[in-house]
Structure 1
Amino acid sequence: MQTQLHQEISLPEQAGYFTVPGAELYAVLHQVPDPVARVLLVGPFASGRHFSYHPWVRWARYLAARRIEVLRYDYRGIGESTGVFEEMSFENWSEDVQLLADWVIRRSPSVPLVLHGLELGAILAARCFHKGTGDALLLWSPPANANQALRSSLLYWAGLGQLNESPENRKTVSEYIRQLEEGSFIEVQGYQWSSRLWRDSFHFDLPATMRDESSCESYKKPIKVIKLGKEAAPLVKSHFGNGEARDFSCLYSSNYDWIAGALALSHRGMQ
């Protein structure tokens, strides 16, 4: 199996494809000379990519400007990556995180790796970290399980339908859920959700040892969990949010400070 970025060229932001079983992941490497750390960004689920894209990219660039190399990517079957979304599973997406993290580590094993996840991506990053990968873990708004993330997306989608669809085409959240429970597919912002995905989401959990600050101490590695509020939209979904651009410099700076402190980057040549 080929596990490398294709079309490698010397550019500050190197876009390419990473081979995983049965698909190609679209990935962007924010390269920096002599990095003091690396971060793997694991973004939100499906349509959440659209909401978070610009602040997520700015966060990657913010870190790269401070000598932290960043790899961000689209999930298998989502965004610019290949693969059929309705055939994907949470285990497929977990495998993607592990393969990418392993690739990042092989680039320079002596450089510390931070796994950073947003919403559903926080569960994926946390489960990878729980298995022993990475030197630090940063989670933004992790749900307790994947079903919470799916319900949030479904609530938003149903709300849009109530505003924009004709009365005969409107569906409530409960109607969508009933279709899923009956074994049908439903379309949510361009993605076909399967009943299997919905069923599996109840059991795809954040590790129990990461659900409170005291239990996180058992890992003996730095872990930070932040619950982002509605003011963080569009980085996180806000019901009926307008998606306007916001200044996230305070969020970026405080989280960078945590990464720098957690990894003691001052001892690695940071100014």
Structure 2
Amino acid sequence: MRNHGFQPDHVTFTGVLVACSHGGLVSEGWHVFESIRNEYGMEPLPEHYGCMVDLLGRAGLLNEACKFVDGMPIRPNSIIWRTLLGACVNHNYIELAEKVKEKINELDSYHDGDYVLLSNVYGGVGRWAEKAGVRNSMREKRISKKPGCSLINVNHLIHEFVAGDNNHPQFESIREFLVSMIDSLKVVGYTPDISNVLFDIEEEEKESTLGYHSEKLAVAFALLCFKDSRTIRVMKNLRICHDCHCFMKYASDVFEREIIIRDRNRFHHFSKGSCSCRDYW
């Protein structure tokens, strides 16, 4: 843009900062953020600060992210705090996650995702009592988690899969095939990540619960329907979890298929055992 004489605006900077965040480009992101004021004479907007918190959080620089938030000239809003909370979950920063949740509570900005994130960070380190406490609090406040939902186009028909839902007319066939898929992937190294499944059920049940995540059901259905090598494309309403992300990498390699999943955050293009996001999402 600069080479062609175009002046970047606030929207431009938001797009560039988001790209830096999803690409893990920390130093480049800092340069872009500082240039908003220093080179272009504009004041960063709340969304620019949010992008920087996301950038630092994704990179695991939680302490730096906290200092950044504390030094903001504007009051952090709930979106910025939730961004930091999400980073705490991804990197298992429990104490910081609890403090961030308190900040969100002070804003009287309740969201089902806040409770789910805090519950997940407890589950990730095996603090099951605290995880159960968060879930109980959700029930008391009548807060329900939005179920994961995946859509796939098969033979010009849109099929919807919801996590844990067995209403699809071919569910039994899909379930049986998915079980065989998981067994095949385990042979080459796939290990289900059960850290965030309810603690009071047996290990085998935990794996079964993970197996019914909507994107896995959708991909299993596609493999049943498509006998050729066409690319599998799935749309999901929530962020893909670590276990499903790992599952898709193995599946793309073992079944020799390209799998594209558009989750809430980005496109994931799985091919030959790797993902276009480079495990950075």
TM-score (norm 2): 0.29
**Structure possessing the higher relative contact order (Cα contacts under 8 Å, 6 or more residues apart):** 1
Name the one with the larger strand percent.
Answer: 1
Larger Rg: 2
TM-score (norm 1): 0.30
